[in-house]
Amino acid sequence: MYEKLVSRFLSYVKTETRSDETSSTTPSTQTQVDFAQTLKKELEEIGMSDVFYNEDNGFVIATLPSNTEKDVRSIGFIAHMDTADFNAENVNPQIIEGYDGDSIIELGTSGYTLSPADFPNLKNYVGQTLITTDGTTLLGSDDKSGIAEIMTAMDYLINHPEIKHGKLMVAFGPDEEIGVGANKFDVDQFPVDFAYTMDGGPVGELQYETFNAAGASITIQGKNVHPGTAKDTMINALQVAMDLHNQLPHEEVPEKTEGRQGFFHVTDLSGVPEEASIGYIIRDHDRELFEGRKELLTHIVAKMNADFGQERINLELKDQYYNMSEVISKDLSIVDLAEEAMVNIGIKPLIEAVRGGTDGSKISFLGIPTPNIFAGGENMHGRFEFVAVESMEKATSLIIEISKLNEQKA
C-alpha cells in the first residue's frame, strides 16, 4: 500500500542508534546525531517545510503546512530515534512472508527461534508478513517503526493534496530509552495544539495513562573484618542490602503485578562486604500511592540508619516522569479523535494504561497533551522482537486518517 514504508524501515533499523545512559551529552551517542541528520535530509527531500535540527536537544522537527481554509487544530506526531540496551550493531532483518501462525521461525543461524509455544502473540499474525531479527541483535522497531510510519504518512499527504488537513508537525528525538529524551524538548519550537507519540506495541493500542516513575540509587558503607572475629564488629554491606530489600512488599514486584498495580523493581545489586549498591525503579499509576512508595523506601533507610547509630545507607531518589493522564484527562477529545479514526479504518481500539512511560509523559506536562499510539512492534528490546508489515501500514493509515478527520471536524 505504501511503496517506501518497508524500505524506509529496513534502512532505519540497519543504522545503529543505541542510547547510552552513562553519557553526559545530548544526544547521548554520536550515532543518533548522524541519524538525525539523515532524517533531516529525507524530510527535506519529501517536501516538508521548516526542517531543522536542534543541536541543544537532538530533535529533528519539520512542518507540513495546512492545506485547508478551515481553522483547524494543529497536530504533532513524535517518535524516538534511539534503541534499547541490547546489541544493535549489524542488525540483519529477516522477512517472513505469509506466516502461518504455527511454524517455528529460525532466527538466522543464531540457534534462537520464534515459536508460538513461547510467544503466543505470533498467532495474531496469520497470513501476514513478519520482519524479525537474525537472533544476534534487537530489531529496533521500538521506535523506528514509528519513524517510518510518520515519514511515510507525511510523504503520502504531500503527494495527495486532495486530502485536506490542518498544520501537521513531526519530531524525531533522542534518548527515550534512557528516560531523558524529552527533558530538553522545546515546546516553543513545536507549536501544536496536541500531539501523538507513535511508540506503542500491537495494532489498536491507544494510551493516555502511564506510570508515575522514580529511580532510587542506594549505596551502603559496610565495615569488613576477618569473619573469624566478626561478631558484633562486622557490618556486611551485602547483607545490609538484602535486609533492606526484604523490607519491601514481596508481592509488589513486576513479575507479580499487572494493570494499574505499582511495584518496586530492583534493577541492579552489586558490591562486597565493604561497600554495596542497589538500584530500583519505582512505579505506580496513582500519584498518592506513588508518593507512598517513595516514603516507604525513605522510611526504611532512615530506620536502618537509626539502628546503626550512624548514616551507613545513602538514598538518592529522583522522579523521572508522571502519569500523563493528569493532563490529558482534562480534555479527552484528542483520545476520542484517535479512537474514531481507528474505527473508521477498521481497527479495534485498545485503550489501556501503559505499564511504562513514553516521551509523551513529559511532553504532556510541558503543555502539549500527547497520548501514545501503536507502532506495531512485539517482543521489543531484544532478539525476539518482530513487527508485521501490515501493522506498520495500519499505523501509517491511522496518521493520515487522524489528520483528515481532524480537518473534517473543524
Q: Which residues are catalytic?
A: 82, 176
Closest CA to 103 of 112, 119, 118, 116: 116
Copy the grid coordinates of residue 398. Answer: 491511522
Amino acid at 180: V
Q: Tell me how far apart the alpha carbons of residues 176 and 232 are, in angstroms, rounded to a whole number.
A: 47
Length of the chain: 410
Q: What phi and psi, each to the nearest 5 degrees, are found at residue 194?
A: -160, 170
Sign of the alpha-carbon torsion through 367, 372, 377, 382 = positive
Query: For residue 120, how far is the Cα from the chain centroid?
Result: 23
